[in-house]
Amino acid sequence: MTLPRSSYRAVVVGGGIIGLYTAYDLARAGAGPILVLERGFLSSGASGRNGGGVRQQWETRGTIRLARESVEAYRRFGRDFGYNLWFRQSGYLFLAESEVELARLRTVHDVVTAEGLPARLLDAGGVAELVPGLAPGAAIGGSYLASDGVLYPFPAVWGVYEAARSLGVDVALGVEALGLRVEGTRVTGLVTSEGAVATTTVVNAAGGWSGEFSRRAGLEVPNVATRHEILATESLKPFLDPMVVRASDGLYFSQTMRGEIVGGRTVGHAPGVGPGVPSSPGFLTGMARALTGLLPRLGSVRVLRAWSGYYDDTPDGFPVIGEDPRLPGFVHANGFGGHGFMLAPAAGRRVARAVLGEPTELDPAVFGPGRFLVARRDAPAERLGLG
């Protein structure tokens, strides 16, 4: 396709939920013209490949606050964007199989409740009440927050996409960002598969490909893409309300409003992006063993489909938000692991402020790109990256 303009105030690389929210908030601030580049189709990346979980249980206050703001935004989504997300706040339940895991969940619980969220610590009996049919001895306790939940990602992507376009944002699908144009130390343009455009700001919201794009810009970054897998079963009579996450191995699953069990489990794939995102036999067998070991009633349930996508991981588990100090005009909106959807409404607002040169409350030592440029001792980390 031919790009609509030759010059833009800002170009967002990546048309997933983070990139679209960023463009939407920039347009609302009157910062146009804005261009979003997506080399695939809408929802072709992680935004269309996730399990739809949205939670506020995290280890650190900064992440909890972004998540809490995002939950409130998703609650208003139908009124603000005119799309129904089918957002069900039916809770998130983290399971502990050992005293070590339960102690970790107690620490998380203390931080979450200190932020004013009414999380509950449960014993084995409380867990069994929330997960009917749980195998005896499968969990000694857990942490539960009723206001967490699940939504359908596709109407969220389409809703923000249509809203951004209605505000004048140009969205170019099937167009790849190839590299930057730089004069001196500043961004002056972007080279795409459809030609070059002039701009003073490029936002890297490329998800699993963000590390690759940053390196094309000459920036060494620690982002690593890791492939994760997920499946959906045939529909069952509804029996499960919360999203269930097991701390030991990253198993997570929920039941949709149609009755399907949707979930995934960590598999040790080699880091980096590759051609395609297939499902593997090792995942299917491992997931089957994990699910049926936890819920024996699922032993005869058939798998209808399975797929995979890329996390965009950072060493400390925090996303990267803000302008890169090494290259003015290059703004990071990446490193969200598998949780960009959970944080997108709040994160998009902060990225837009970074583009506009406005301050945010985010601690740059925790979320800023400059944190990786200095040796740090006792640096914070967010390790609750499951589910």
CB 93 within 8 Å of CB 242? yes
> What CA–CA distance (Å, rounded) separates 155 from 343?
16
pLDDT tens for the chain, 387 residues: list them. Answer: 689 999 999 999 999 999 999 999 999 999 989 999 999 999 999 999 999 999 999 999 999 999 999 999 999 999 999 999 999 999 999 999 999 999 999 999 999 999 999 999 999 999 999 999 999 999 999 999 999 999 999 999 999 999 999 999 999 999 999 999 999 999 999 999 999 999 999 999 999 999 999 999 999 999 999 999 999 999 999 999 999 999 888 899 999 999 999 999 888 888 888 877 788 999 999 999 999 999 999 999 999 999 999 999 999 999 999 999 999 999 999 999 999 999 999 999 999 999 999 999 999 999 999 999 988 767 889 988 777
> What CA–CA distance (Å, rounded) separates 342 from 67?
6
Backbone region of residue 16 per phi and psi (left: phi > 0; alpha: psi in -120 to 50; beta: other values): beta
> What CA–CA distance (Å, rounded) separates 357 from 340?
23
CB 25 within 8 Å of CB 352? yes
User: pTM for the whole thing?
Assistant: 0.97
Phi and psi dihedrals of 232, rounded to 5? -135, 140
Backbone region of residue 367 per phi and psi (left: phi > 0; alpha: psi in -120 to 50; beta: other values): alpha
CB 381 within 8 Å of CB 316? yes
> What CA–CA distance (Å, rounded) separates 83 from 157?
10
| Tens-digit pLDDT profile for residues 99-133 | 999 999 999 999 999 999 999 999 999 999 999 99
Beta strands 53-54 and 261-265 are unpaired
- Domains, the chain, ordered by start: 7-49+154-223+315-373 (3.50.50.60), 90-148+227-311 (3.30.9.10)
Q: Which residues pair with 255 in a beta bridge?
A: 261
